[in-house]
Amino acid sequence: MNEAANIAAFGTALQAAFDRFKMEEAIIRARAAQAVEAGKAPRGLAVDDMLERPTRRFLIDPMLRELGWDPGNPGQVTEEARSWAENGDRLYFDYLGLDGQRAPTLLVEAKGADAKTVRPPRGVEVAGRRMAVLVSEALGSLKADAAPSSVLAQWATWLNDLRIYVRSLGVIERKTLQRVVITAGRWLIIFADPISAFVDDGVPASDAIHCYVSLEEIVDAHQEIYRLLARSRLINTLPLTLTLREALGVLSASALMETYRGVVVATRMSGGMRSEYPTRAVYPAVVLLSGGSAWGVVDYNAQPLEEPRDAKLLGEFLSLLANRGDAFEQSVVAAFGRQDLVPSPLAAYPLNVRDPDVEDAFAPASGSTAAMIAATAPLLPQFVRRTKERGANHEFLVITGQTWFYKTAAAFGMPCDFHSFPMARKQGAAGTRGHFERAADTFTVSGDDQHCEHDPLGGLRSSRCHLSPIELHLCCRACVFHDRCWREEDLPRLPCAT
């Protein structure tokens, strides 16, 4: 099944599980009450506590199973993950979802079906967005060692227990933990950024806390919940980029299949608010393919190189980058004992090694503009990927094959009029204004040999340009992806001589 079918099946299974629970609820409650009254329940357990197991069986287990987390498969889910409370007591959490390397990925804490939703003390039930704000404020108070005043005392305890567990994880485990969930089946709260929520200082962003307050709301939001919790989207839990030390700890040398050169490019704005300009830090990366996934091993410990603002200095920058990249590459393959690995060309990079977030779960409607674009757009390898480091909106891993950078010191081929805005305007091909200042997604300017001011060409590039997130105006003839983007029969469509 494709992902669209999986999402539809998830919604159907949720509805069926919830309908079954509603049919059985009266019987479940009666049995729980009888067990307590007859003294057959474990000492100290009330009816609410007795309802936790049926809640898991009827509401939570089916949800996890349809999301790809099978509670009956110990390779996917370990029940009753353990930690220590602040008073020394053992803490037990109900489910810990694991990836293929048994690294913690998803933590689920189950409550009985009658457990109250998040609400203010002495308050009434609130909507999901308000719940998220209350949880965020409570976590901020806990981090400041203050008693939360925004939620019921019971909720303050539950949130603190989750915080203790997440804080107990090691450095690598914190990177692999993707989601934390607390649910009573009837309601569901998903922490999409658990490290920010439970570990980092300050009040976490409430928009990374997703709250669903009823069975009906959970069913209605099944598409969003699937995207947040599906195992297929979370099991590649290692960060896209690793230091060499981190890579040696999690990647098997014998499983390394291919290597490519690349760079991490981090763009930041500098200067005063009225005169901001971008700077670009560039780190050499050795991209390793293993188990159908790619990781960039990055020399984060060294001072990064900065791409020069003056295009005339680009050649010197490329030489420095190549020297540093060569040395780092040798240290990486030596550390893995895999000197047999040599950089592969871009043509060898597999189509199926991709970031799942860029795949749309739904096919475009027949006859729509999106469907027309999809029908004509070639399927391209994914050479440019966001690192997804927190707060790094303009940070990318760029896979460059056997070279160390995606931009060349000069465009190849015959001289071209379209590097310059005045010349392009004279030819009737310029946009409304030229690009004379660098920006986060454009690091060339009018007049550079690497720059392109041919505005209609942007339409041709829209479905094929690998570098569009970081280089909207890079000349195709100054880019190492030129042969990957343009088939030979398409070259005559380029406005410049080739």
Same domain assignment for residues 67 and 202: yes
The whole-number pLDDT of residue 362 equals 41
Integer Cα distance of 415 and 478 in angstroms:
12
Same domain assignment for residues 347 and 314: yes
Residue 91 has pLDDT above 80, yes or no: no
pLDDT greater at residue 177 or residue 490:
177
Comparing CA positions, the residue from 206, 172, 201, 202 lying closest to residue 190 is: 206
Query: Which H/E stretch holds residue 385?
Result: strand 384-386
Give how many domains the chain has, as a whole number: 3
Q: At what angle do helices 3-37 and 222-229 cross, to 10 degrees?
A: 90
Which amino acid does the sequence have at 383? Answer: F
- 296 falls within a domain: yes
Mean of the per-residue pLDDT values of the chain: 83
Going from the C-alpha of 215 to that of each of 66, 89, 218, the distances in angstroms are 16, 33, 5
The whole-number pLDDT of residue 392 equals 74
pLDDT greater at residue 390 or residue 203:
203
Residue ranges making up the domain that contains 479: 415-491
Comparing CA positions, the residue from 417, 59, 434 lying closest to residue 219 is: 59
Integer Cα distance of 262 and 383 in angstroms:
9
- 406 falls within a domain: no
Of 179, 208, 232, which one is at a domain's C-terminal end? 232
Same domain assignment for residues 275 and 151: no
Same domain assignment for residues 26 and 122: yes
How does pLDDT run across 48-77, given as a tens digit for each residue? 554 556 667 777 888 888 898 888 888 788
Pick from 97-101, 110-114, 324-328, 481-485: least confident? 97-101
The whole-number pLDDT of residue 41 equals 60
Q: Most distant CA pair in the chain: distance in Å? A: 93
Evaluated on CA atoms 53, 55, 58, 61, the torsion sign reads: negative
- Cβ atoms of residues 402 and 343 within 8 Å: yes
- 138 falls within a domain: yes
Same domain assignment for residues 19 and 79: yes
Query: Strand (E) positions, 162-248?
Result: 179-183, 188-191, 209-212, 241-242
- 352 falls within a domain: yes
Same domain assignment for residues 280 and 165: no
Taking the whole predicted model, whether its pTM rises above 0.85 is answered as no
Same domain assignment for residues 363 and 485: no
Same domain assignment for residues 247 and 305: yes
